[in-house]
Structure formats: C-alpha cells, structure tokens
Amino acid sequence: NGVLDLPGIVVLAKRGGKVYHKSFGKDCIPLDAQFRIFSMTKVLTSCVVLMLRERGVLNLEDPVSEYIPSFDRSWDVIKPGQDEQVEYRSFLTGQTSQLNYSRTPAEQPILIKHLLAECSGIGYDQWTDIQLWDGTPFGVQYGVVNQLRRAAGCGGFSSNCIIGQPCTLGEFCDGIAAAGVLAEQPGRFSYGQGALVAGRVVEVAFARLTGRCERFSAIMEELLFGPLGMESAGFYLQDGDPRANKIPTLYGAVLRDPTDKLAGCEVRPYKDCVAGVPVPNSVPSDQSSGPRSCDSGDTGVCMTVGDYGKFYEFLLREGVSEAGERLLARESVGMLTHGSMD
C-alpha cells in the first residue's frame, strides 16, 4: 500500500477453487465496499432485456416506440453546421459556448437492439465537453442534443448529475422524446443512455408479462440480483441503509499544470476536482441522497466487488446460477459476451 499511488482499489480474481480478493491503496478500502459501478450497469440491463426476450414479450428488432409511445415520432439527427445555435455550459469548466449545428432526418427508427449496442443516438454530453476542453474531435452534437433536451423538459442528461434526475424513468424517457433529437443516426455508435431507455422498455415488457407494474430496480432484483445472490446490489440507497456508509470516496484527476497537458495528473477527491466550477455537481451523493426516483439502467447500480463477480461467474457457467437454475440461454450469453445483438 505504501508504494501504490492510488486512493484505493479492490481486486477479485478466481481460477478453479482459488480466490484472490484483496484491497490496496491509501484509503484502506474494505472488501465489502459498496462501489458505484457506473457504466458496468449496462451489461446487467442488457441481460434482463434478453431474459424477457426469451419469455417472448419483446424482440430486439422491435421499435422502441412499441413500448414507449412518446418515441413514435420523427427524429432529427444533430450535426455540426451553421443553421442554428444554442448556448451550452460545460460541466468541466463552467464556461459557456455558442454551439452551431444543423439537423437532418433520422434514417430509421430506434430499435431495442440499438439501445443495447450503444448505437441509439442518445449519447452523453461529456463528449462535447471534452472537445471544448482539449480539442478531441468527438463532435458538438452531443452537447447540443442534451441542451435541447434540457430545454424541452426532464430528458436532459448532465454529467454533473448522472442519476439525480427529479423524475421517474418513464418521465425521463418521455423527456428524451419531447426534444426529438439524436446525436447520431440510429445504428451508428453513440455511447450514452441507450441502456437507460432499455430499462423503461423492461418495465413495460415486464408489466405485459406479469400484469404487475414495477420499477426497473425491483425487476432487476427479481430476475437477476435475487437469483444470483447479489445481496448488496441496488440502485438508490434510502436513508438509514447501512450500505450507504460503505460507499467509498469518489476520486478524479486534475492537471498538475493547466498549461501543460503532458505534465500529468494529480488524483484528488472528486469534490475538489470540480471546486470552483460554477456548476452544481451532485455525482458523489446521488446514490444515497436527493430524489432517488429515476432507476438508471446505464449507470445506476452500486454493489460490492464480490457480488459483481457473481454475475461474471454466472456468464462463465453459460447462464446457470450457482444453485443450478438456468436463467439465460447459452445463445443469449453469447450475445452478451461477443458484442453482437443481431
């Protein structure tokens, strides 16, 4: 620990009957720390979508509009251009920019498979923030799209409030549709919130299957977390939940010299990384405080490393739980692990 210049990590490795499970770093993180797993939530959501596919209540080729009626509309794809302009404030720096853009019609509807394959067009705003900061040419369209969604209602994702939206999952998805804009053509790579929308599809499909209207978090518990014994897994932690005290401090990195990007970075608590940026940032606290109402299938789950490991053991057993129950067909496991939803 004395020579490892990291706040803290937990390592879990298994081979046969041998298990290596240790923590390292300055913060002496316990093995049962309740980690925010952020985008590692996406594969869990995809797994449950495939479970419902096997039950015959959805098809990956289905348009999302068959489950979310507000998606049954024409969509515009935003691209760099000079036809329109919107004011955009960076969550990284707090600085305001004028983003110029044009529109072109979407060439096809958004399908369920697009949500799982990160090609729905519902991308994160951070790609534009990075471009404005260091010039990496991700495209201004991501910032434009999210700014237009914020103006239209609840559907605007912001990297300074990842899971703290004050609305339900259904309301958030309707907000995405209200703006009617995408960052890429459906079918083209656009890393972002496809899995969040997939969570709403799961809620609707599950209700059709069972006759019960449940939150996405409850469905995940019933179909995945419970059967795999992932006892620590959850979305939001309510007041008084002992797991909240086990969430590690969130860290980030800042340039040692803002004028020299090759000078390296310094690791600091996340709240210190954004100190002085005039944009409220609730990322470190959204898991256990605030609204806790929008179950995010793309970045919302927290759990211990040991419990996340149970999911991968489940995949290595080709869809069979430790108790011997088949929860997912081998074909579906192959789709999850080989990057194809066709």
Q: What is the DSSP string of 64-98?
A: GGGT-GGG-S--EEEEEEEEEEEEEE-TTT--EEE
pLDDT in tens, 235-275: 999 999 999 999 999 998 888 887 887 888 888 999 998 88
At 89, the amino acid letter reads R
pLDDT (average), residues 210-227: 98
Confidence category of residue 339, pLDDT binned at 50, 70, 90: confident
Q: Closest Cα partner for 164 from 292, 253, 76?
A: 292
Instruction: Tell me the one-letter amino acid at 96.
Output: T
Cβ-Cβ contacts under 8 Å for 285 (sequence gap 6 or more): none
Predicted confidence at residue 3, as pLDDT, reads 45
φ/ψ of residue 220, rounded to 5: -60, -40
pLDDT digits (tens, 9 = 90+) for 56-82: 999 999 999 999 999 999 999 999 999
Pick the closest to residue 169 from 195, 131, 189, 135 (CA basis). 195
CA–CA gap between residue 34 and residue 13 (Å, rounded): 18
* C-beta separation of 158 from 125 below 8 A: yes
